[in-house]
Amino acid sequence: MTAVPTPQPSDDAVTALLRSQDGVASRAQLVDVGCEPHDIERMLRRHQVFVALPGVYITHNGPRTWQQRAWVAVLSCWPAALAGTSALRADNGPGVRGFDEGDPIEVAVDVARTVQDKPDVRVRRMAGMAARTRWNASPPRLRQEEAVLDVVAGLAREWDVIEALAAAVRSRRTTADRLASALTARHRFPRRTWIARILADVAAGTASVLEHGYLDRVERAHGLPAADRQQADRVAGGRIYRDAPYSAYDLQVELDGYLDHSALTERDRDLERDLETATTGRRSVRLGWGQVYDRPCRTAALIARLLVLGGWEGEPTPCSPTCPIGDH
């Protein structure tokens, strides 16, 4: 009787699999393309592949690229998808604000599973994860708006939240409307109402949240006189500016609510310089998100100086025991 040869895995299929995943593959995937256990053992003996994590292999034993680390993380927890800043890094490339290339890879798995963190892998359980994932991405990852909301949920400062939302829309990988829809679908989310208002402003191109922030955090909190606020909004360059005119003191404060034009941090530096310059005699200033939400006390002190130049005889008051307004 002639022996029937044992089918061999297709070298082309194995090569194609590894090439498509940056040199990383799981044991299950190798079996799917025809490998038997002894074939995988042979590949290990010949140093064609190395163990990256249990059940996951990589074609070299040296330093791994970020993309290879991402593949290892996803496959070691399969079915899984890149989440949070890791998903944003996969979409946007290196240089994502607030992202450290050396941080563990974040992955999401279904809430019903009990997958634990692994070396270089941080796991989070997520309800409805399958519908929120781009499975055809390489590696699979949460949709942009889902990843953005995950990042935003972990930010403490409102200014950082605003910048993260603005950067997401500015990247053109998602929209304010898609972010708002994803937010609505979340059962629990910190500062949901406020974030929904920010996204509504982004979608409409207005600055109503910024206007309210100025009134509440800068003007009222520090005892400044009330602006007239009778002027209608005016359109300039496709955006609506909300103005706070102090007619009695010859001062016009304009609130610049651009959220998708240029990097907020760069624009913020320009606006801060404008405010400093105004204290030397200019009678019109433009304020942005950073001055209202990140530095309201400093902003109030400088606006007070401008009001005094226009004849105001009052003094700003501290908003809290720790308010530094008396230092300015």
Any domain includes 53: yes
- Kindly state whether residues 188 and 235 are assigned to the same domain: no
Name the pTM for this structure.
0.71
- Kindly state whether residues 246 and 303 are assigned to the same domain: yes
Q: In the chain, how many domains are there? A: 3
Q: Express each pLDDT in 212-252 by its tens digit.
A: 788 889 999 999 998 886 444 444 444 444 468 888 998 88
Any domain includes 238: yes
Average pLDDT over residues 296-307: 94
Any domain includes 249: yes
Any domain includes 121: no
Average pLDDT over residues 263-283: 66
Do you know the residue count of the chain?
328
Average pLDDT over residues 25-41: 95
C-alpha radius of gyration, the chain, whole number: 27
- Kindly state whether residues 199 and 221 are assigned to the same domain: no
Average pLDDT over residues 316-328: 84
DSSP-derived pairing of the beta strands 24-26 and 56-58? antiparallel
Residue-range definition of the domain harbouring residue 33: 11-58
Average pLDDT over residues 268-281: 67
- Kindly state whether residues 243 and 309 are assigned to the same domain: yes
- Kindly state whether residues 320 and 255 are assigned to the same domain: yes
Residue 112 has pLDDT above 90, yes or no: yes
- Kindly state whether residues 183 and 233 are assigned to the same domain: no
pLDDT for res 193: 93
pLDDT for res 117: 96
Rounded Cα–Cα distance for residues 262 and 167 (Å): 9
Q: How confident is the model at residue 108 (pLDDT cuts 50, 70, 90)?
A: very high
- Kindly state whether residues 222 and 320 are assigned to the same domain: yes
Average pLDDT over residues 284-303: 91
- Kindly state whether residues 174 and 258 are assigned to the same domain: no
